Each structure stands twice: as C-alpha cells, then as structure tokens.
Amino acid sequence: MESTKPAAAWTKNIPADDVITWRRHIHQNPELSFEEEKTSQYVEEVLKSFPNIEIIKPAKTSVIGVLKGSRPGRTVAFRADMDALPMQEETGLPFSSKVKNVMHSCGHDAHTAMLLGTAATLSKMQNQLKGTVYFIFQHAEEQPPGGALDIVNSGALKDVDAFFGMHVLPDFPAGHVGILPHGAASTAQDGFRLTIIGKGSHGSMPHLGIDPIVVGSAIVSALQSIVSRNVEPGEMTVVTIGKFQSGNAFNVIADRAELGASIRTTSDETRKMVEIRIKEIIDNITKAYGATYKLDYTPSYPAIQNDAALNVHARNSAVAILGKDQVFDGPMMTASEDFSYYRKIAPVSFMTLGIGKGAANHNPKFMVDESALQSGVKAQVQIILDYLNK
Ligand code: NI
C-alpha cells in the first residue's frame, strides 16, 4: 500500500522563479564550446549569492561549486553542461537567442539553471548535510575532445565517490525522469578520414593506373563484415561510410579517393576491436591493390556506462520525491556524451528528463517545457540528499 506523503519540507526552498530567470538569461546569451566566458561568469556570480558555496575553476570556462556539509561523509557530484550550438534559433520565443547563429538547442541552458536551483536549495541545508557536494558546471560538451576530460584531468574531482548527470529529452512527458539502462547508456562515437592514393590514368588504359575507386569499393564492402562477422550478435554497433568522393570525369582514372566514416559502439572491448579491424582491412586491401593511404582515425567520447547500484539509487530517490508515475525506464541514448569520462574517477549514473512533445535536440525549433525544471531540481536534490545520508 502506498500512502500520499506530505511534500518534503525543503521543496519550499527551491527558487522556482529564479530557475526560469537563469535559464532564460542563459538561453538569450548562448556561447559555443570552449567559449563559455560570460556563461561561466554568470554561473559563478549566481553561485556566490548562495550561502556556504566555495568556487573552484578547474578550466578556463568551467565552474564547480563545492558545498561542504556540517559533518564528514561521502562526496557526490552532479554535472550540468553549459555550451550551445552553431545554429540559428527558429523557436520564435520572446527570449530567443540574441546571438546570431548560436543557440541552446540541446537544453544545456536548462541543465545549468536546474543545477543552480539544486545548489541554491542544498546550500540552505548545510547543517543537515553529511559529506560534500560538487556542482559541476562544465564547458564544451558538444565539441570533442570535450570539457569533461579537462575537468577530470585537472584533478579537482579526484575525491568524488559518485557522479550523476541529467539530460533533457523531448517527446517524454514534462518533468518525468528516465532512468537509462545500466551498462551502456549512450554510444561511443569514433570516426575516420581516409585518403586512398592510387595512380591516375586514361580511362581506356586502366593497366597503367591504380584505380582508387576500385580500391575504395573493396574497402567499403569489406568494412561491412565487421558488424556482421566480428561483433557479437545483439551488441549494438554501427560502421557507416558516409563519404566517398573521387574522380571528376567519366573517362579518367582518378589518382585519389576520400572516404569518411562514423562508428558507434557500446563497449570498450568492441570499440577497440572495431578500430583494429578497420585498420587491418584498410592496410591489407590497399596493399593488395598496390595503392597507399593516409588514415586519420579520430576517437571521440566513450559510451556512458551506468552503474547498476547508482541507477537503483537514482530511481528510488526520484520515485520518493516525484512519485512512481513520474519515473520511467528510458531507452539507451544513441547519441554520445562526454559525461562518460567521469567514470575514470568513480561510478556514474546518467538520466533523462522529459520536456514534453517537440522538436529533437539540435533542431533550430528545439524547446523546453519549463514546467519540467521544477521536477528536475527536486529529483537532483533528493538524489544528492539520499546519497550523502545513506
Ligand atoms: Ni546535450
């Protein structure tokens, strides 16, 4: 039997109107990855207006607020990202971006505002807290190598015992929290650029050339066998050759071909194996045809690996404060996220927050139902409180 519990007393401390104000200010003043100068200054100013918060600046445009409880205990971190994307906003909102061709179309403005709301709420409960909270306002999620890596490498978070993060997601009811699968919760995205160097010739004299189109075609075909023959069935893996350019005339054998690929994997082992197979296939096929090549293999973010116990923790806390009906099992994200790097330090749990029907993330019409923000703050505060008091 479930009873309707009275709302936790601290919920009245959530600065709900301020969260909207902060979000709209950041939305109107978006900044691109690694350029979040004004945003990080703004975040720092707001954090300084709360009691009991110390500021750390682990990288040029990131800010961490540290809240030390009145008693010793564990250390927990919650992360928000702050960067926007290079696109022109088309929402028509009265608080649309004031910066041409820059827009918060992934909701990082909402993430930042919610985490400020969480910090504001918890900063007033310092005397009830056991342990330490890090509020991470991270730069450059959208741009590999990613801001998370800078922060991890700074050493500022080496004492953290658990990391949580939350991403807004359209097409789920506003304010509903999605617990993602444990294990892979997002994909790793890598890629490569390949130049095949053959030998140009007259189209009627193929024996005098080395045709890079034929070599490239053999490579593209062979690469298909990685997913079908090397990866264990059922493990989500994608190898897409999205670019293959060569030649200018129908009767000329070109001297080179340019290929580009996008690769998505969900485990470190498969990620490594796929890279090795790609390199073997390219090396051996070009050799077999007498061509040479230049390969630029570009690793990006690894997959987020959600910790099973932290997922259970996040779910229980979200249910405790929002009710069972507002917590759901979210599907694995096919996108990638540099939140994955925090796992180098401690276990992580990444979740989603529904923001109602609307355009997808990274779309110029992307919008956030602001009623969701209150739920997001509630879930964040409860997750942190429960973690420290366990
Ligand atoms: Ni995002």
**CB-based burial label for 42 (10 Å; 0-12, 13-18, 19+):** buried
Confidence of residue 236 (pLDDT cuts 50, 70, 90): very high
Quick one: pLDDT at residue 3?
46
Confidence check: pLDDT of 1 > 80 = no
Q: Report CA(154)–ligand 1 centroid distance (Å).
A: 22
Confidence check: pLDDT of 5 > 70 = no
CA distance 370 to 23: 9
CA distance 317 to 372: 17
Q: Report CA(82)–ligand 1 centroid distance (Å).
A: 9
Please give the average per-residue pLDDT across 166-184, as a whole number.
97
Degrees to nearest 5, angle at CA 66 with 60 and 69: 175
Please give the average per-residue pLDDT across 348-372, as a whole number.
97
Contact (CB, 8 A) for 90 and 365 = yes
Q: Report CA(141)–ligand 1 centroid distance (Å).
A: 7
Confidence check: pLDDT of 6 > 70 = no
Q: Report CA(32)–ligand 1 centroid distance (Å).
A: 12
Q: Could you read off the pLDDT of 193-204 as tens digits, one per residue?
A: 999 999 999 999
Cα separations in angstroms, 28 against 21, 167, 281: 11, 20, 48
**CB-based burial label for 310 (10 Å; 0-12, 13-18, 19+):** buried
Residue 246, strand partner residues: 257
Confidence check: pLDDT of 135 > 80 = yes
67: phi then psi, degrees, rounded to nearest 5: -120, 115
Domains of the chain: 9-186+303-389 (3.40.630.10), 188-299 (3.30.70.360)
Do you find a cis peptide bond into 233, omega within 30 degrees of 0?
Answer: no
H/E run at residue 135: strand 130-138
Q: Report CA(107)–ligand 1 centroid distance (Å).
A: 6
Quick one: pLDDT at residue 2?
46
Degrees to nearest 5, angle at CA 215 with 210 and 218: 155
Say how many C-beta atoms besides its own lie within 10 A of residue 260's C-beta.
16
Q: What is the DSSP letter of 85?
A: B
Quick one: pLDDT at residue 7?
74
Token reading at 215: 């070599």
Q: Report CA(239)–ligand 1 centroid distance (Å).
A: 23
Residues catalogued as catalytic = 83, 141
Quick one: pLDDT at residue 162?
98
Closest of 382, 354, 356, 368 to residue 166, by C-alpha:
354
Measured on CA atoms in the order 359, 361, 364, 368, is the torsion positive or negative? positive
Which regions of the chain does DSSP assign to beta strands (E)?
53-59, 62-68, 71-81, 130-138, 162-169, 177-179, 183-184, 188-197, 201-202, 238-246, 252-253, 256-265, 292-298, 305-306, 327-329, 348-354
Q: Report CA(326)–ligand 1 centroid distance (Å).
A: 22
Token reading at 166: 């939350």
Q: What is the DSSP letter of 8?
A: P
Place of tokens 């910066």: 99
Confidence of residue 334 (pLDDT cuts 50, 70, 90): confident
DSSP 328-362: EEPPPPSS--GGGGGGGTS-EEEEEEE--S-PPTT
